[in-house]
């Protein structure tokens, strides 16, 4: 398989008034063409800081990439100017965020927003073509009655519908890599699985690579072929999905698996919560970040 994105030894630090936080610690991984990769870990373990570093979206004034490379199709994104990087955002690498309300323009019809994104990334298109494409994209993400929904504003749509609009908006740019940062966390379980099913179908159809970020390991089992587990800013384990579920190597992964309900478990098997707290990002931990909580 061909590598499309390669992150090597990436570390990201936030400097706030009172403290320095090493949010991402020496992270390395590859994303292959047409692959759906999951990054899983508890809240605060550095997932967003990691993918925002890929897009150059961490705050410039308070964050710093202290080491590493992010190679996208053989270009180190960290060496690009803000201007150059902008041409990668959306068209090459798209992103769906957790909160669509924060990413959509509240004063613009949703169809119009998708259309603008389409035109921006397909400059030679005609207005009529762009409109047809918007209807097609709305249809792809299963928005019923696209002709009428085109004219609605974000506040007039439900959370699930807004998230679908966000997906359509990212797809309008026809990205090669789509990063979905907890895109379904605010939605109820049925809608979550519908949207995942849809992303999976779209990925096949459009031949994208996806990085799917979640704190919910059970969500990605049927969706991603490989899983990276993060803890305290570092990768503790990375394996193909079936291997990770059937033969987890790292004690933290085992604890994570024991804490979620599984369809192949007997009703009487109790779920085991993970004891203790993840490390505070201020703490400097040498070696494996899980060792203070590790039973072994
Ligand atoms: N802009 C920021 N300024 C300071 N600290 C931040 C900032 N963004 C994230 N952090 C800190 O970095 C760590 C990782 O955060 P984040 O990547 O958002 O975690 P996750 O996405 O896994 O929930 C946390 O301790 C968080 O408080
Ligand atoms: Mg996050």
DSSP code string of the chain: --EEEEEEEEEEEEE-SS-EEEEEEEEEEEEETT-EEEEE--TTSSHHHHHHHHHT-S-TTTEEEEEEEEEETTEEGGGS-HHHHHTTBTTTEEEE-S-HHHHS-TTS-HHHHHHHHHHHH-TT--HHHHHHHHHHHHHHTT-SSHHHHTT--GGGS-HHHHHHHHHHHHHHT--SEEEEESTTTTS-HHHHHHHHHHHHHHHHHHT-EEEEEES-HHHHTTT-SEEEEEETTEEEEEEEHHHHHHS--SHHHHHHHHTS--TTS-TTPPP-PPPS-PPPTTS---S-TTTTT---
Nearest ligand by distance to the CA of 42: 1
pLDDT in tens, 35-89: 999 999 999 999 999 999 999 999 999 999 999 999 999 999 999 999 999 999 9
What confidence score (pLDDT) does residue 184 get? 81
Average pLDDT over every residue of 161-179: 92
Pocket test for ligand 1, best of 48, 55, 181 (most atoms within 8 A of CB): 48
Q: Specify which residues 38 forms β-bridges with.
A: 212, 227
Among residues of the chain, what percentage have pLDDT more than 90? 64
pLDDT the model gives residue 5: 98
Q: What atom in ligand 1 is closest to the CA of residue 281?
A: 25
195 inside domain: yes
Residue-level pLDDT at 202: 84
**Cα of 46 from ligand 1 centre, angstroms:** 6
d(CA 235, CA 254): 14
Mean pLDDT for 127-141 is 93
Whether 252 is covered by a domain: the verdict is yes
* Residue 132 resides in a domain: no
Question: Which pLDDT belongs to residue 289?
Answer: 87
Query: Does 296 map to a domain?
Result: no
pLDDT, average across residues 179-198: 83
Segments forming the whole domain that contains residue 63: 3-102+176-258
In a domain, 191, yes or no: yes
- For residue 177, the model assigns a pLDDT of 96
Q: What is the mean pLDDT of residues 227-243?
A: 96
CATH number of the structural domain spanning residue 238: 3.40.50.300
pLDDT of residue 37: 96
* Residues with CB in 5 Å of ion ligand 2: 48
pLDDT reading at 274 higher than 80: no
Tally the domains of the chain.
Answer: 1
What integer is the mean pLDDT of 174-203?
Answer: 85
pLDDT at 224 over 80: yes
Task: Choose one of 38, 46, 97, 183 to mutate for the ligand 1 pocket test, by most ligand atoms within 8 angstroms of C-beta.
Answer: 46
Residue 261 confidence (pLDDT): 73
Cα–Cα dist 38/161, whole Å: 23
Question: Per-residue pLDDT for 265 more than 80?
Answer: no
Q: Are 70 and 54 in contact (CB under 8 A)?
A: yes
More confident residue, 231 or 98: 231
Specify the pLDDT at position 270.
73
- On whether residue 112 sits in a domain, the answer given is no
Is the confidence at residue 190, as pLDDT, over 70?
A: yes
Burial class for 277, CB neighbours closer than 10 Å (0-12, 13-18, 19+): exposed
Task: Between 282 and 229, name the one with better pLDDT.
Answer: 229
Q: At residue 263, does pLDDT exceed 70?
A: no
pLDDT in the model for residue 269: 66
Indicate if ligand 1 lies below 6 Å from the C-beta of 27. Answer: no
Euclidean distance between CA atoms 85 and 58, whole angstroms? 13
Residue 262 in tokens:
């599984």
**Direct distance between the N- and C-terminal alpha carbons of the chain, in angstroms, rounded to an integer:** 36
Structural domain contains residue 78: yes
- Tell whether ligand 1 has an atom less than 6 A from the beta carbon of residue 64: no
Residue 139 lies in a domain: no
| pLDDT the model gives residue 268 | 62
Q: Is the pLDDT of residue 186 over 80?
A: no
């Amino acid at each position: 398989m061909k590598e499309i994105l390669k992150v090597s030894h990436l570390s990201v630090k936030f400097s706030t008034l009172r403290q320095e936080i090493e949010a991402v610690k020496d992270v390395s991984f590859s994303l292959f063409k047409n692959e759906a990769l999951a990054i899983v870990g508890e809240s605060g373990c550095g997932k967003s800081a990691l993918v925002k570093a890929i897009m150059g979206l961490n705050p410039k004034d308070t964050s710093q990439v202290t080491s590493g490379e992010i190679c996208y199709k053989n270009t180190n994104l960290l060496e690009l100017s803000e201007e150059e990087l902008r041409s990668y955002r959306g068209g090459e690498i798209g992103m769906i965020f957790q909160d669509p309300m924060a990413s959509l323009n509240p004063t613009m019809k949703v169809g119009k927003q998708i259309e603008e994104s389409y035109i921006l990334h397909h400059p030679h298109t005609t207005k009529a073509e762009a409109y047809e494409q918007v209807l097609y994209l709305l249809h792809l993400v299963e928005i019923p009655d696209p002709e009428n929904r085109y004219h609605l504003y974000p506040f007039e749509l439900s959370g699930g519908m807004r998230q679908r609009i966000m997906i359509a908006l990212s797809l309008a740019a026809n990205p090669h890599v789509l990063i979905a940062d907890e895109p379904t966390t605010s939605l109820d379980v049925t809608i979550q699985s519908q949207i995942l099913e849809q992303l999976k179908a779209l990925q096949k159809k459009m031949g994208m690579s996806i990085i799917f970020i979640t704190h919910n390991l059970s969500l990605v089992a049927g969706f991603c072929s490989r899983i990276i587990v993060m803890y305290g800013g570092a990768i503790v384990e990375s394996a193909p999905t079936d291997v990770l579920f059937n033969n987890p190597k790292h004690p933290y992964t085992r604890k994570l698996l024991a804490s979620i309900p599984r369809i192949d478990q007997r009703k009487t098997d109790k779920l085991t919560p993970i004891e203790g707290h993840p490390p505070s990002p201020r703490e400097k931990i040498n070696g494996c970040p899980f060792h203070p909580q590790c039973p072994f």
